[in-house]
Amino acid sequence: MSPILFWIFVAMMLFFGGMVVLNRNPVASALSLVVSFLALAALYVSLDAYFIGVIQILVYAGAVMVLFLFIIMLLDLKAESRRHVNFPAVCGGFVVIILFIKVLSDVCYGFDGGNAKFPPIAQGPQGDVWHVGMVLFQQYNVALQVVGTLILVATIGVVILSKRELK
């Protein structure tokens, strides 16, 4: 991927990620999150992870965000009114985040191996999904079954949580 395209998608991802945090209206936040996830999917594709990019769009930008929007509209949330701000907490938050970014840039740009070019890859005629599927079903089959069970448990849990009266 050309560097210009890369920086455009990174800027899109970070700008709309920031809008998620800064917007007062929850619906606008959720829609910004969708755009941020779409840019992130483009970055996955730029790293030759086509399957993960498609899953990102289908599961995150599709299913999860529809769920978020559905709940926001179901609860009929208005734009948040300004309340008193806990000043020490906000200052502490900013200090932690700025220190985090400082440490991150030090670590990243002190890591010489990361400044090399990405090695070329040759996936052959099978493509990305075939390789992911082989690893997933051969090496991680037990983990896949466990995750399936986890989703079943989550489904039952949600049904029980949303019953109106618990006996």
**Could you tell me how many residues of this chain bind other proteins (CB under 8 A)?**
82
**Coil, strand or helix at 24:** coil
Residues 41, 11 contacting (CB under 8 angstroms): no
User: For tokens 């969708």, what's the residue?
Assistant: 34
Q: CA-CA distance, 20 to 159, in Å (whole number)? A: 29
Q: Which of residues 88-107 bind other proteins (CB under 8 A)?
A: 89-90, 92-94, 96-97, 100-101, 104-105
Q: Is 66 in the site for other proteins (CB under 8 A)?
A: no
Q: Is 60 in the site for other proteins (CB under 8 A)?
A: yes
Q: Is 8 in the site for other proteins (CB under 8 A)?
A: no
| Dihedral sign computed on CA atoms, order 28, 25, 68, 21 | positive
Q: Is 142 in the site for other proteins (CB under 8 A)?
A: no
Q: What does R_g of the chain's alpha carbons equal in angstroms?
A: 21
Among 8, 48, 73, 127, binds other proteins (CB under 8 A): 48
Q: Tell me the one-letter amino acid at 90.
A: V
By C-beta, is 119 or 167 nearer to other proteins?
Answer: 119
Among 87, 88, 113, 167, binds other proteins (CB under 8 A): 113
Instruction: Pull the structure tokens for residue 28.
Output: 């606008």
Among 73, 127, 140, 145, binds other proteins (CB under 8 A): 140
